[in-house]
Amino acid sequence: MSDSFVTDSNLQAVATFGAGCFWGVEMAFREIPGVDTAVGYMGGDIDNPTYEQVCRERTGHAEVVQVRYDPNKVDYDTLLAVFWKSHNPTQRNRQGPDIGSQYRSVIFYHDEQQQAAAQRSLQALDGSGKYREPIATAIEAASTFWRAEEYHQQFLEKRGQASCRI
């Protein structure tokens, strides 16, 4: 299954972020009023990838959270702020103990406005002195979103967990 997952007609805008394992990142976005989320894969070179294929780094996809949101309730800059806070953007192809290109830090933009906002926010964070290392986050054009298997959707919520940190 690809792009479709929202039935609320007020959720008119879409944003897609890769920030390591999608479980914890999804939970961070789900806390924002006016959004709905789905986890999946983007940025690779095969159609309809499975979790196992992505984990073996055979597809080029990143684990991502796709956020559908109501721009009257939340703006893209707020989503960017949550993205930056939800992971370490200086790590290349990893987050904590998770290693591989599927865990890369990436913002997939859906239009020129998102691209410009993502670049501005990356430059501001990189120049802020918050991190000793440079920001490794890529900014790429969105491609097809492939929804992950159902057991990955809202994984932490289904288990009553607040985070997936060790």
Give the Cα separation of 80 and 122 in Å (integer): 9
- The burial of 159, by beta-carbon neighbours within 10 Å (0-12 exposed, 13-18 middle, 19 or more buried), is given as exposed
Contact 148, 40 (CB under 8 A): yes
Active site residue 21: yes
Contact 90, 75 (CB under 8 A): no
| From 13, 15, 21, 38, the catalytic residue | 21
Catalytic residues: 21
